[in-house]
Amino acid sequence: MLRAARLLRPRGLPGDRGCASAESPGTAGGREIQVRALEGPARGVTEILMNRPRARNALGNVFVSELQEALARLREDQQVRVLLFRSCVKGVFCAGADLKEREQMSAAEVGVFIQRLRGLMNEIAAFPAPTIAAMDGFALGGGLELALACDLRVAASTAVMGLIETTRGLLPGAGGTQRLPRCLGVALAKELIFTGRRLTGAQAHTLGLVNHAVDQNEEGNAAYHRALALAQEILPQAPIAVRLGKVAIDRGMEVDIMSGMAIEGMCYAQNIPTQDRLEGMAAFREKRPPKFVGK
């Protein structure tokens, strides 16, 4: 399975390389979700590239299926130390639900699809390595829910985001009502969801919705470059410790603090026998940078 995953991953250098065309059915370039493993200084970073330009990366059936397929293949790949979500469509991260496709569904089909979409966001949230959303454009409705499922978010200051479902006669159904209050607090999340308010990247940073907001550049990929720099800060750290830290935080936030401390203790115990822990202590003693191998 891992070999098959790598066949779908064109190796690239850090920086902004264009996506393959999404207009060539039956080829890797025809996929709405493309996967790229970077080399050089960014080796260990894998990118999920969203490439559905005609629908502004809307969450349609094919898009969701391909994203689920990519996540399933990458989840077991220990070479993935950071997973970065980005868009190949200039000015858009993800426009949310594919309402044109949704109109053709029966009520029962809508319910099944929303459950599937909710499952996708849970899969992103549960991905074992750190995940980063690079938001260089619109992230509305399900697009923001996708970003909220990531561990970290970076936005261009001019990017526009919001859970706008109430303006369409809907409510967030792919985790937004749960992840936004956990991110911003209950009162502010209610205000944003009740009003369907849109925020710029700069406003989102002020509220704490995104980790970093950066001025957009002429190429329209400033958030991607900042997200890649953030990923490269994570890369030198011990990968097992980073993954266990993610587990301890995510699971600990769902329980009382004493139970959370117990979860932290279990995660810490799993890290004790690792080669990387011994390497970290040896490097400190020998006054040299550690060389972590993920074992």
Catalytically active residues, by annotation:
97, 142, 145, 165
Closest CA to 48 of 60, 61, 64: 64
Question: Which residue pairs from 120-124 have beta carbons closer than 8 angstroms and sit at least 24 positions apart in sequence?
Answer: 120/64, 120/67, 120/68, 120/71, 120/174, 121/145, 121/146, 121/148, 121/149, 121/174, 121/175, 121/179, 122/149, 122/175, 123/68, 123/71, 123/72, 124/71, 124/85, 124/149, 124/150
Closest CA to 205 of 193, 195, 213: 213
Residue with tokens 């559905």: 52
Tokens encoding 283: 């490097």
Tokens encoding 14: 């850090």
Report whether 158 contacts 216 (CB < 8 A): yes
Rounded CA-CA distance 232/228 in Å is: 6
